[in-house]
Structure 1
């Protein structure tokens, strides 16, 4: 089926031949009627579109299997000069029959719901950032100096903003933006509560929270993108899924040239990993030492992406081996878990009933954990201080003439 917004073009593949099956309206009633006309041994092939999951859920009870194809890879495999709906549907059928159809993983209902929640939260955060940038642009256009307070949009910052000399139309625009920020804050709080309620008893989320720099939003976003970690046979597969693997260009006996990251895959999860990488780079520990080492050679932007890749590999090992992060800070992890519980609506603990998260409020205990993290950081620095990467030309000559190194 080549599905669109309002209809789907159907082609049957039988005994090596294609037969046109007409069109089906993209409504639940029409799809159920079409599903009843199929056999229980039939297989339905569709491309990944905005409504493909809904189509798959409706047709799955009537057929053996519903396969969702990757449209980008299908286009690369079967490029046609004559492109119609019937040709596209026939291409899907022929590729699947020949065993060349690139499929995508179909998430379960819970994972699909979490993906929607995370996507909605990401959109709200982006909208909020865009509005804040518009307010800053207005101030910049009228030569207003930088706000002396830490946050322009807290109580003190808004009071300072109201005192600035601005034209009436610009002041009205800022007031409209501030009202929109308040509305987005309510939406964001609602989404955070739903995400916390859904992931409260998830052991994989709690395991990812042990990593420095990973909060609930990042952990939930990563698990929504990953789904079942068993479908990734190696950490490199997960790195490629997030588009953090470098592009490689190599021909004949020439040296392989590694370029920028591919950025092929789930862009939302990749952005969250980079965000977590910046947070991890600021805290003491092996990840900070790794960031500093890469930054000295390649700059801070490349170093942040390298830490994001390192976090991806770390997530694969933790989820696959079902282990917590070795250099986790217990009080910080307990603080993250307690924050997740409060977001989910758990009652506050008052009086003498102090939980493990209370240790995060004791400065001496925090400093003690920081010292342990600093020792791990120094251990990593000592481990890699003797590493001396060879120049690219020397590596290339070594591949072309292996006898030099024998």
Structure 2
């Protein structure tokens, strides 16, 4: 815990390869040092901070550069990780040394509001969720590229199939790329899709160009590779979620619009719901509340602040979209009322905020969602926990070696 009076503070300006540390005392003493951001540099910083008996070490939450420094110091002294945007509001930064000294001044005068720092295991869980989110985005980009290829060749397959990247869709696309005849492709389709054989035949009557077939084949291979890697990540995600947050998962999935992925994502991004004194505080932390301006006695509401996790806000809007389509639900009734006055998009954001306050109440009170309109949540098929073998040190070294080999594959100046 931070003492009532801070007599000595250290401010860190952290970069990718180095960090500038400034030590300030109430007596006016100032000392600055530069440390490399590697194992030895962090050890040297730790020794210096402990030797000088600093009351607090402060830094900005710049990328994830602060993480190893925080983990090294937190068990020995108070470490504050401040929001960079809040700290920049105090001054216009000019140089690394000025940055470091100013952070130390803020820490010395207790003017930095500490950010919430999750335990290491939870940060690793969150990193799985965030990587999965990025891979899904990349996979969507590849699917859109494949759609563009089909459209340019006037293959309107989406007029026949709901999902052209489903099992039947991929069978058809693979058959097109490999030059298979129509009968051979149709034989491998499911019975329901075979009923549309005449419509499919009309689409496949066109001959695809060789260039389009090659590009489409590459897109399909990439989508399949992304599927494998995303499934691998989901194994790690749900193993952790059900092992450490089973009750929270069950409570969240009892709400309309929330499935396994959205529940795990919310837990990963929010962490302990009990850290917030109310659902409104949680909504504010997630940046899903409007900006408020006051002039004289008048208040003006602006757009939402967007201060918190982008991924949490994105998943909440997806949940709100799903909840707004549920029949016989109080959330749907709320959405319909709001939609009449503020429009569809703003009503979705309003519903997302309402869902945040609801899930805060449910988790902090340990209650399942109940709806007096007669809404009943369908059964959610839960993932099974699978034993995962740990990666050995030799395998980790091999992974790092492969990364360096990939980075250095091209000589300087080559593309």
Give the TM-score of the pair, scaled to structure 1. 0.78
- Dislocated runs of 4+, deviation >6 Å: 328-331
Distance in 2 (alpha carbons) for counterparts of 1:131 and 1:91: 45
Give the CA deviation at 1:325. Answer: 0.8
Give the CA deviation at 1:47. Answer: 1.1
Provide the aligned C-alpha RMSD in A: 2.1
For 1:12-91, what aligned pairs fall within 5 Å after superposition?
A: 12-17=23-28, 19-39=30-50, 41-42=53-54, 43-49=56-62, 50-61=64-75, 63-80=76-93, 83-91=94-102
Residues 1:181 and 2:214 are matched in the alignment:
no
For 1:216-295, what aligned pairs fall within 5 Å after superposition?
A: 216-253=260-297, 255-284=298-327, 285-295=329-339
Which residue of the partner structure matches residue 21 of structure 2?
A: 10
Give the CA deviation at 1:29. Answer: 2.2
Residue 254 of structure 2, aligned match among 199, 203, 210: 210
The change in CA–CA distance for 1:16 and 1:118 in structure 2 (over 3 A counts) is: farther
Q: Which moved more, 1:321-330 or 1:265-274?
A: 321-330
* C-alpha contact 2:269 2:312 (8 A) present in aligned 1: yes
Distance in 2 (alpha carbons) for counterparts of 1:287 and 1:227: 24
* C-alpha contact 1:18 1:90 (8 A) present in aligned 2: no
Unaligned runs of 5+ in 1: 347-406
Unaligned runs of 5+ in 2: 1-11, 177-203, 388-415
Number of aligned pairs? 338
Give the CA deviation at 1:143. Answer: 3.4
Give the CA deviation at 1:322. Answer: 1.5
Give the CA deviation at 1:221. Answer: 1.2
Residue 158 of structure 1, aligned match among 153, 167, 170: 170
Give SS of 1:256's match.
strand
* C-alpha contact 1:243 1:261 (8 A) present in aligned 2: yes
Which residue of the partner structure matches residue 117 of structure 1?
A: 128
Give the TM-score of the pair, scaled to structure 2. 0.76
Give the CA deviation at 1:245. Answer: 0.5
Cα deviation digits, residues 90-147 of structure 1 (max 9, x gap)? 1111011112113211111222112101101101111111111111222333433252
Which residue of the partner structure matches residue 144 of structure 1?
A: 155
Distance in 2 (alpha carbons) for counterparts of 1:252 and 1:167: 68
Distance in 2 (alpha carbons) for counterparts of 1:98 and 1:38: 18
Distance in 1 (alpha carbons) for counterparts of 2:71 and 2:111: 24
* C-alpha contact 1:31 1:59 (8 A) present in aligned 2: no
Q: Which moved more, 1:71-80 or 1:17-26?
A: 17-26
* C-alpha contact 1:56 1:66 (8 A) present in aligned 2: yes
Name whichever structure is richer in helix by fraction: 1
* C-alpha contact 1:200 1:340 (8 A) present in aligned 2: no
Give the CA deviation at 1:16. Answer: 4.4
Cα deviation digits, residues 312-331 of structure 1 (max 9, x gap)? 01111112211111239998
Distance in 1 (alpha carbons) for counterparts of 2:371 and 2:242: 23
